[in-house]
């Protein structure tokens, strides 16, 4: 039997948009037979990144493009850069246009040298943006087997 792909979805959400995105991603992966664990940043107990074939990290963007402190702490707790991190984020263009839109997600993807462009969702993913979520996770999973099982210790640090 082929072992199930193991996916961890870690996210931070205050008002629910990033959580909704995380749940859509979880449903999509589970419907395709993957084993999914959810991790609420700042709440769930620590996990071992090496247990997973893919780690999805979701964050909203805070004032003037800032990364939420909880996400910075999460990154420090992990303490190294797993090579199989894909980032998704929610934000709102009304807070600073394209320059600041989902900037925390973009910075996080850069920090992890993520092989995938971050998914950027305007507010809630429900409705027309659900297609974007699906397209993004499909693309990520196409590549995942290439990265599965590999790890690379490149030191610790913190995103801006």
Point out which residues bind ligand FMN (CB under 6 A). 13-19, 60-65, 90-92, 95-96, 100-103, 123
Of 80 and 95, CB closest to ligand FMN? 95
Query: Smallest gap, in angstroms, from Cβ of residue 20 to ligand FMN?
Result: 8
Separation between Cα atoms, residue 31 and residue 37, nearest integer Å: 14
Residue nearest to ligand FMN (CB): 91
List 55's β-bridge partners, or say none.
Answer: 8, 85
Give the N- to C-terminal CA distance of the chain in Å, as an integer.
43
Separation between Cα atoms, residue 88 and residue 77, nearest integer Å: 19
Of 23 and 143, CB closest to ligand FMN? 23
For the beta carbon of residue 156, count every other beta carbon within 10 angstroms.
12
Query: Smallest gap, in angstroms, from Cβ of residue 30 to ligand FMN?
Result: 21
Query: Smallest gap, in angstroms, from Cβ of residue 58 to ligand FMN?
Result: 8
Of 13 and 129, CB closest to ligand FMN? 13
List CB contacts of 92: < 8 A, sequence separation 6 or more. 101, 122, 123
Of 96 and 159, CB closest to ligand FMN? 96
Of 92 and 143, CB closest to ligand FMN? 92
List CB contacts of 62: < 8 A, sequence separation 6 or more. 68, 104
Separation between Cα atoms, residue 11 and residue 71, nearest integer Å: 8
Query: Smallest gap, in angstroms, from Cβ of residue 129 to ligand FMN?
Result: 11
Query: Smallest gap, in angstroms, from Cβ of residue 11 to ligand FMN?
Result: 8
């Amino acid at each position: 039997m082929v072992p199930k792909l193991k996916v961890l979805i870690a996210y931070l959400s205050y008002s629910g948009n990033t959580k909704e995105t995380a749940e859509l991603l979880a449903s999509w992966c589970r419907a395709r037979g993957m084993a999914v664990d959810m991790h609420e940043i700042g709440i769930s107990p620590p996990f071992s990144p090496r247990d997973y074939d893919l780690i999805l990290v979701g964050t909203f963007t805070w004032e003037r493009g800032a990364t939420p402190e909880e996400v910075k702490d999460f990154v420090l707790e992990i303490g190294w850069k797993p090579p199989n991190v894909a980032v998704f984020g929610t934000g709102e263009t009304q807070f600073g246009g394209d320059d600041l839109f989902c900037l925390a997600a973009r910075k996080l993807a850069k920090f992890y040298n993520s092989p995938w462009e971050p998914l950027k969702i305007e507010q809630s993913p429900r409705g027309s943006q659900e297609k974007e979520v699906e397209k993004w996770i499909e693309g990520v999973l196409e590549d995942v087997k290439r990265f599965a099982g590999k790890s690379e210790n490149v030191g610790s640090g913190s995103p801006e």
